Amino acid sequence: MPSFDAIIIGTGQAGSPLAGRLTEAGMKVAIIERNLFGGTCVNTGCTPTKTLVASAKTAQMARRAADYGVLLDGPVKIDMKKVKARADSVSGASRDGIGTWLDGMANCTVYRGHARFLDARRVQVGDDVLSADKIFINVGGRATLPEIPGLASVPHLTNSTILDLDVVPDHLLIIGGSYIGLEFAQIYRRFGAKVTVFETGPHLIRREDEDISRAVAEILTAEGIDIVTGAANLSVSRATNGSGSIALSHDGPNGLQAVGGSHLLVATGRRPNTDDLDAEKAGIALDAHGYIIVDDALRTNVDGIWAMGDCNGKGAFTHTAYNDFEIVAANLLDNDPRRVSDRIPVYALYIDPPLGRVGLTETEAKKTGRNIVVSTRPMARVSRAIEKGETQGFMKIVADADSGEILGAALLGTGCDEVVHSLIDVMYAKRPYEQVRRGVHIHPTVSELLPTMMAEFHPA
């Protein structure tokens, strides 16, 4: 039985860098991957989708070229095979880089196959049984399929299989109006598809404030995307006209409604890959949704076993998975007691223009009972946005009037996935907003309006 100092299950955003740190520290490591090196982000998540977002943005700017005095001959056409090849190539380069790194890593043995626990110190992969005193779980998650009548008998796509498309759908129906649904909605609309989004919640991206959700809906609607919120009792079937297309029915404000489409994307959330890990044989506790229960340093209830990334339910982003690696490495190797609770929630929604988010929403901030002030500014009043011809969206910052602490921000506008980092850094530095208000920012940038917004706080 091959014996190691550490076994890592999964080569996602935490597992591979941890293999690097552990082997550098002199440990003998086994890392196990059942599918593609790099996991979700590299193969079916961030990397391919943001590459598609770039193609879609290019198409949109080409359509708007005449607004900028740039004349192109004829209508914009999409070469979907080329679009796909570009996404595959960017994704493939990243995957190959990780594979080459791991395969060449001294003191690291790569096992390809599905890992299952035999007990708290032994893991089976294929015919091999590996043992170690330390086991790190980084198994990620996959798309959930909701209980929608007819779904099993109708062809449908997930965030993974939609990446295989090398044609533009005539009409893409999307179930779920959050990150995955909205990013793909705009991508495919910009490629020329008709797109309809169905969301059960009362508004899109339901974790956000309603004004942000409304502004996102306005941006998407202006591009011709149909959005149905409050869609209840969804069911799907093959259209009866023999076209091979899909009929989606739902209860709307005006009773039962049906919409026909050529393709269906299901984007209703993700679940952890813990159902086929035999975690119970090691005594590892899971919560009711299958997430591995961990403490603030990412230790499971079983001594010597940690869980990092999407599978622990503490984050659902590449940067949170990578931060999990940093926390585990810092505690194990650096005598540095980093904690998950040190982390401020940050993320972006990559529609165009993007939504950059940090900390609390306004609604959440109000619920804390603190003395809240808020400042908003439409992008139409940001010089750089006007110069770029990209004035959709608005920025909102929420702070504590008494302590001066910045509590959160939702910046929806051109470049805002980057702009939000000015605030993230100040929040990590635990400095009051006055610090930003006094800082001189570069003109003309979107960021230069942050000090102005700080000077315009008013009670929420």
Ligand X SMILES: Cc1cc2nc3c(=O)[nH]c(=O)nc-3n(C[C@H](O)[C@H](O)[C@H](O)COP(=O)(O)OP(=O)(O)OC[C@H]3O[C@@H](n4cnc5c(N)ncnc54)[C@H](O)[C@@H]3O)c2cc1C
Ligand Y SMILES: NC(=O)c1ccc[n+]([C@@H]2O[C@H](COP(=O)([O-])OP(=O)(O)OC[C@H]3O[C@@H](n4cnc5c(N)ncnc54)[C@H](O)[C@@H]3O)[C@@H](O)[C@H]2O)c1
Catalytic residues: 443
d(CA 23, CA 5): 10
- Least distance to ligand Y from the beta carbon of 106, Å? 34
d(CA 111, CA 115): 9
Out of ligand Y, ligand X, none, what residue 3 binds, judged by CB under 5 to 8 A for its kind, is: none
Q: Which one among 25, 118, 316, 340 touches ligand X, defined by CB under 6 A? A: 316
d(CA 247, CA 428): 49
What are the structure tokens assigned to 251, written together?
A: 């209860």
Interface pattern 60-99 for ligand X (x via CB under 6 A) = ----------------------------------------
Interface pattern 229-268 for ligand X (x via CB under 6 A) = ----------------------------------------
Any contact of residue 46 with ligand X (CB under 6 A)? yes
Interface pattern 11-30 for ligand X (x via CB under 6 A) = xxxx----------------
Contact 139, 10 (CB under 8 A): yes
By CB under 6 A, how many residues form the interface with ligand Y?
27
What are the structure tokens assigned to 264, written together?
A: 């269906």
- Least distance to ligand X from the beta carbon of 113, Å? 7
Q: Which one among 151, 316, 333, 424 touches ligand Y, defined by CB under 6 A? A: 316
Any contact of residue 394 with ligand Y (CB under 6 A)? no
d(CA 189, CA 169): 10
- Least distance to ligand Y from the beta carbon of 162, Å? 12
Residue of 178, 111, 168 whose CA lies nearest to 143: 178
Buried/exposed code over 340-365 (b: 16+ C-beta within 10 A; e: otherwise) = beebeebbbbbbbbbbbbbbbbbeeb
Residue number with CB closer to ligand Y (97 or 146): 146
Any contact of residue 317 with ligand Y (CB under 6 A)? yes
- Least distance to ligand X from the beta carbon of 309, Å? 2
Query: Among the residues of 104-199, which ranges form H helices?
Result: 179-190
Q: Which one among 28, 57, 86, 114 touches ligand X, defined by CB under 6 A? A: 114
Any contact of residue 37 with ligand Y (CB under 6 A)? no
For residue 405, with 0-12 CB atoms within 10 Å meaning exposed, 13-18 middle and 19 or more buried, which class applies?
A: middle
Any contact of residue 176 with ligand X (CB under 6 A)? no
Q: Which one among 262, 318, 331, 361 touches ligand X, defined by CB under 6 A? A: 318
First-to-last alpha carbon distance for the chain, in angstroms, is 63
Helix (H) or strand (E) holding 329: helix 318-333
Answer left, alpha or beta for residue 347, where phi above 0 means left and psi between -120 and 50 means alpha: beta
Enumerate the β-bridge partners of residue 396.
376, 410
Taking the alpha carbons of 435, 439, 442, 444 in that order, is the dihedral positive or negative? positive
Binding to ligand X, residues 340-379 (CB under 6 A): 350
Residue of 214, 212, 220 whose CA lies nearest to 187: 220
- Least distance to ligand Y from the beta carbon of 284, Å? 23
d(CA 353, CA 411): 10
Q: Which one among 180, 247, 302, 406 touches ligand X, defined by CB under 6 A? A: 180
Q: Which one among 63, 206, 319, 437 touches ligand X, defined by CB under 6 A? A: 319
Binding to ligand Y, residues 342-361 (CB under 6 A): 347-350
Out of ligand Y, ligand X, none, what residue 199 binds, judged by CB under 5 to 8 A for its kind, is: ligand Y
Site of interaction with ligand X (CB under 6 A): 9-14, 32-35, 39-41, 44-46, 49-50, 114-115, 138-140, 159, 180, 273, 277, 309-310, 316-319, 321, 350
Site of interaction with ligand Y (CB under 6 A): 146, 148, 175-181, 183, 198-201, 206, 231, 234, 267-270, 316-317, 347-350
